[in-house]
Chains A and B, each alone.
Chain A
Amino acid sequence: ETGVTQSPTHLIKTRGQQVTLRCSSQSGHNTVSWYQQALGQGPQFIFQYYREEENGRGNFPPRFSGLQFPNYSSELNVNALELDDSALYLCASSPGTSLNTGELFFGEGSRLTVL
């Protein structure tokens, strides 16, 4: 059983650029959530995807968007990057609703620095 994997692990962008972060969910999991963790803070919920549909969103502007693919992997896209977007972006997966115990399985994250 493979865990949640994310890429890239680190990246540096400049203000105004766009970034795409990728996540492969744990085997057997069809739900993926994305969280933003600023330095020294707790993770903040961005959105969740279930069977390729967004089914929950936090207080993030529309320039944060995502996709989930038929194999349940996911992408997080951020347009018009701002300095405050610098953070660790965590992807988490969980099994289908009937098997959902509540536990989220996190990846190691993608650390984004915006200069």
Chain B
Amino acid sequence: GENVEQHPSTLSVQEGDSAVIKCTYSDSASNYFPWYKQELGKRPQLIIDIRSNVGEKKDQRIAVTLNKTAKHFSLHITETQPEDSAVYFCAASRLIQGAQKLVFGQGTRLTINP
């Protein structure tokens, strides 16, 4: 079945440095790749997403890159701040009219050290 592998499971960086989280997916038909941030006890919230017809997307300090051939996609956070500390989940799905099943990675616990 579909599978999404996410690495690393934990990541600790100094405030101001960059953080990179990587994911691989198995279903070559996947065409939508969102990243969700989940703070402790809170709901997952979308921070950025990318579709398979685009190789890179940026939103201020956050960027996502996609390599369809290798079935890899990555989240890049620059100039990290303490409020970036959270668990981050990548996901993949086939976005088809009327139906969507997100397959999530295992999550990365990001800690920003002041």
A residues lining the B interface (CB < 8 Å) = 4, 31, 33, 35, 40-45, 48, 50, 55-56, 58-59, 90, 94, 97, 100, 102-104, 106-109
Q: How long is the Cα–Cα vector from A100 to B102 in the complex, in angstroms?
A: 14
Given the complex, which residues of B lie within 8 Å of A45, measured CB to CB? 101-103
Given the complex, which residues of A lie within 8 Å of B32, measured CB to CB? 102
Quick check: which of B44-52, B64-72, B75-83 contacts chain A, the rest being far away? B44-52
Given A43-B89, A45-B103, A108-B43; A55-B49 close (CB under 8 Å):
no
B residues lining the A interface (CB < 8 Å) = 1, 4, 6, 32, 34, 42-46, 49, 51, 89, 91, 93, 95, 97-107
For B103, give the chain A residue with the smallest CB separation: A45
Q: How far is the CB of B105 from chain A (nearest CB, A)?
A: 5
User: Top 5 A-B pairs ranked by shortest CB distance?
Assistant: A42-B104, A106-B43, A97-B97, A56-B99, A102-B32
Given the complex, which residues of A lie within 8 Å of B4, measured CB to CB? 42
A-B CB contacts (within 8 Å), total count: 68
Given the complex, which residues of B lie within 8 Å of A31, measured CB to CB? 98, 100
**Which among B34, B43, B105 is the interface contact of A103 at CB below 8 angstroms?**
B34
Q: How long is the Cα–Cα vector from A107 to B38 in the complex, in angstroms?
A: 12
Q: Can you report 13 A-B residue pairs in the complex whose CB atoms are below 8 A from each other?
A: A31-B98, A35-B102, A41-B106, A43-B89, A44-B104, A50-B99, A55-B99, A102-B34, A102-B51, A102-B100, A104-B34, A107-B43, A108-B43
Given the complex, which residues of A lie within 8 Å of B107, measured CB to CB? 40-42
Evaluate contact between A100 and B95: CB separation under 8 angstroms. Answer: yes
Evaluate contact between A43 and B104: CB separation under 8 angstroms. Answer: yes
Q: How long is the Cα–Cα vector from A107 to B101 in the complex, in angstroms?
A: 17
For B109, give the chain A residue with the smallest CB separation: A40
